[in-house]
Structure 1
Amino acid sequence: MHSAKAKLLTLLLAWAAAEICRRMHMPVPWMLGPLLATALATLAGLPTCSSLRLRNGGQWVMGASLGLYFTPAIVTQLVNLWWAVLAAVAWSLALGMVYADWLYRSCAGRLRGVPDESLRPSAYFAGAIGAASEMTLLAEKEGARTDLVAASHSLRMLIVVLVMPFGMLLAKSWWSLEAVDVAPQASAMSFTVAGGAWLALFTVAGGLTLKLLRLPNPWFLGSLLVAIGLAASETAPATVPTLLSNTAQLVIGVSLGVRFSPQFLHTAPRWLAHVALGTLGLIAACAAFAAFLAWVTGLHPATAILGTAPGGMTEMSITAKALQLGVPVVTALQVTRLVAVLILVRPAYHLWGIHRRDGAHSRQP
């Protein structure tokens, strides 16, 4: 099928799924509906297709939308929580290494055609929490099986994105989720065509700047940083219309769903089974840490859970926005973790390898 026609039919399928999920009152319908529909259609062998330009546009819109929540009061709150943000980063890095070690030990010698020298880096970069595409590229440089790394991040993303919104809804029986503050400027600001044009111009410039600098996720991070600057200085010219935000969530959901090709299920079933089991363990461990973080900081538990969840930065921030669960804190925690992972994960891998070799030598008679 011609790619343009495939993209159009995929978008129509995604829109229908989003509308059904909205009518069913599902959480985050404009992302979860398209994600589920396109994933199932792709696994069934249908010719689904995602547009990279639309995905980048969706990330640009969501970056601007989320950045407008960072009012001066919110920025002050985040500055006072700097130590909690660093603690969350350290926790994520340590947890990723523990998970990687468990994944390696569980699959070593049990995957046909995967020698130990490629399984070790595969497990490590598959266990890193965040920056899926960047982890795949780094894994390739270390001799890992990139198909295993990419498959593990895709599966973990799917599980986390599905579990967290429904988990937050179930948590309503214990917490009053409506009590989480939403930045007043983000909700009260109006939209005008002129203001929207200026906002688009500024945020596109931010995205292009980060793209020229070859930084990861440039359209999301560049737009986010510019919008944060505008909101924090109280000079934001407009808000992002709900329709545009919903459309951005839809194309992001599609971009996640099309990853699950029929070949995906044939990618080392034992590996995928352990990734799925390990992901549930990661969610539980992060939730326990989030409960502790909420207790010592006074943050709402739901906000802390989404901020430390082992999912994607964009997806967890969208979930926080849709459910109104402390968007700035969640976004700040997720963005800081992404930056830390990108900077530290490769040096940490070499330390991890040295530690494992030293441990092996110490056990020899």
Structure 2
Amino acid sequence: MSSDATLFQTTSARTALALLIGIGSGVFAYLIGMPLPWMLGPMIGNTIAAILHAPIAPPARLRPIVIPVIGVMLGSGITPEVLDAIGDWAISFLVLPPFLIVAAGASFLFYRLIGKYDPVTAYFSAMPGGLNEMLILGAEQGGDEKRIALAHASRILLVIGFVALFFGLVLGVTSGGRGGAVWVGLWELDLTDYAVLAACAVAGVYLGKVLRLPAAAVLGPMLLSGIAHFFHIVDVPPPTVLVIAAQVVMGTVIGCRFIGASVREVGHDLFLGFFSTVGMLITGVGFAAVVAALTDTELSQAFLAYSPGGLTEMSLLAFAMGGDIAYVSLTHIVRIVIVIFSAPLVFRWLGRGG
């Protein structure tokens, strides 16, 4: 009993340290005017702490709480105007498969030829799908789990950093800091607003699991929140302080993914991940330009939708940057579904061909 208590206290202390690093890094990033400071700051701070083997642990108990809050927050961006853009979205979805073929193919060749990964590890490291899903599928086929995990963790880390810096430094779009999004105070919601948003979060998680949605804890609450905001049952998003808290937790979780990796391992995988990610982003810009030319979608929004980051992180980034949340989120959902279902089939086909 005392052993369990000691372990809990140790884990709690490490989690508290990770969150303190996250908060401190977020404040510092905010003060220096970094784009998306409340996610990038904690992410970078905890990545450095993990590489230096600081006694940190991810806030695993907070993540299941924060994820539905993010879903509700993302759903608040769904308005009746969404219906007017569905035609453009269909074209964007049609362009998505060739983008994935080119981006994943180039990334696979890079990991195979330059990184010298074995074929299985290279293949599942290159697939721009969910980290957990690709890790499970890769492990089942005999891939190197640690390398696959580090490849996807570094991809998400670098994509978020690149995209945030691109929006902030090139497009001049900032968030959460000076000149950022409009602040929504805790006092601006009444009890009915809080009750509706809370119901969307709790019931949404259950709905997502029943419908077997990918990233159910995000998409379920997002769906219910979207319906509530679409029909004006509630007209306000969650308070900004919760938005910031969600970003701090998510940034901390991403940074903590590098716990247990050596400096050499992280350096090697970040080096490979850098060039793989740059290749995917350049490809994404090219296909985003095609989408922008064929539709009324702004290049910045198409680029955000085609950036190969995680669904939750990229949707949160869209929210923070004032983007079209519904379009960006749905495009990433389609991308992940395509990759999850097609990656094993293509792998088996390539195996038979070899």
Q: 1:335 aligns with which of 328, 333, 336?
A: 333
CA distance in 1, matches of 2:159, 2:268: 20
Counterpart AA for 1:241: P
Which shifted more, 124-133 or 208-217? 208-217
Q: Partner letter of residue 280 of structure 2?
A: L
TM-score by length of 2: 0.87
Matching of residue 160 in structure 1 with residue 159 in structure 2: yes
Aligned to 2:58: 50
| Counterpart position of 2:240 | 242
User: Letter of the aligned partner of 2:83 in structure 1?
Assistant: V
Which amino acid counterpart does residue 131 of structure 1 have in structure 2?
A: G
Q: Which moved more, 1:140-149 or 1:192-201?
A: 192-201
| Counterpart amino acid of residue 59 in structure 2 | S
Q: CA offsets, 1:224-245, max 9 Å, x none?
A: 1222222333333642111111
Matches within 5 A, 1:292-311: 292-311=290-309
Q: 1:8 to 1:193 in 2, by over 3 A?
A: farther
Identity score, percent = 25
Partner of 1:263: 261
**Which secondary structure does the structure 2 equivalent of 1:130 belong to?**
coil
Residue identity opposite 2:143 in structure 1: A
Are the aligned partners of 1:307 and 1:329 in contact in 2 as well (CA < 8 Å)? Answer: yes
Distance change in 2, residues 1:237/1:270 (3 Å): closer
Comparing 203-212 and 304-313, the one that deviates more: 203-212
Per-residue deviation, 1:205? 1.3
**Against the structure 1 CA distance between its residues 75 and 62, is the aligned structure 2 distance closer, same or farther, given a 3 Å change threshold?**
farther
Deviations 1:162-187 (A, max 9, x none): 111111122237x999xxxxxx9x9x
Distance change (3 Å), C-alpha of 1:213 and 1:80: closer
- Aligned match for 2:32, one of 24, 30, 34: 24
Counterpart Cα distance in 1 of 2:88 and 2:53: 50
* Cα pair 1:139 1:146 within 8 Å, conserved: yes
User: Which residue does the alignment assign to 1:75?
Assistant: 83
Distance 2:98 2:230 in 1: 27
* Contact 1:196/1:237 (8 A) holds in 2: no
Structure 1 segment 205-244 matched on structure 2, within 5 A: 205-211=203-209, 215-236=213-234, 238-244=236-242
Shift of 1:264: 4.4
Cα offsets for 1:22-56 (capped at 9, x unmatched): 12221111111111111111111111111223122
CA shift at 1:269, angstroms? 6.3
Give distance in 1, aligned partners of 2:18 and 2:38.
14
Cα distance per residue 1:200-255 (max 9 Å; x no partner): 12222121233466654221121112222223333336421111111011100000
Displacement after TM superposition at 1:107 (Å): 3.9
Corresponding pairs, count: 337
Q: Whole-Å Cα distance in 2 between the matches of residues 145 and 310 of structure 1?
A: 21
C-alpha contact 2:35 2:168 (8 A) present in aligned 1: yes
CA RMSD of aligned residues (A): 2.6
Contact preservation (8 Å) 1:129, 1:341: yes
Change in 2 beyond 3 A, CA 1:237/1:294: closer
- Cα shift at 1:282: 1.2
Q: Structure 1 length normalisation: TM-score? A: 0.84
One-letter amino acid of the counterpart of residue 150, structure 2: A
Deviations, residues 111-147 of structure 1 (Å, cap 9, x unaligned): 6xxxxxxx21111111111201110001111111111
Contact 1:210 1:219 in 2 (8 A): yes
Alignment partner, residue 127 of structure 2: 128
Q: Which residue matches 1:116?
A: none
Distance in 1, matches of 2:216 and 2:327, equals: 20
- Is 1:59 the counterpart of 2:57? The answer is no
Name stretches of at least 5 consecutive residues in structure 1 with no aligned partner: 112-118, 178-183, 358-365
| CA distance in 2 between partners of 1:220 and 1:293 (Å) | 26
- Deviation (angstroms), 1:273: 3.1
Q: Which residue of 1 aligns with 2:105?
A: 97
- Find the residue that maps to 2:225 and give its secondary structure: helix
Which residue is equivalent to 1:254?
A: 252
Q: Any conservation in 1 of the 2:91–2:295 contact (CA below 8 Å)?
A: no
User: In 2, Cα distance between the equivalents of 1:92 and 1:52?
Assistant: 31
Which residue pairs with 1:180 in the alignment? none
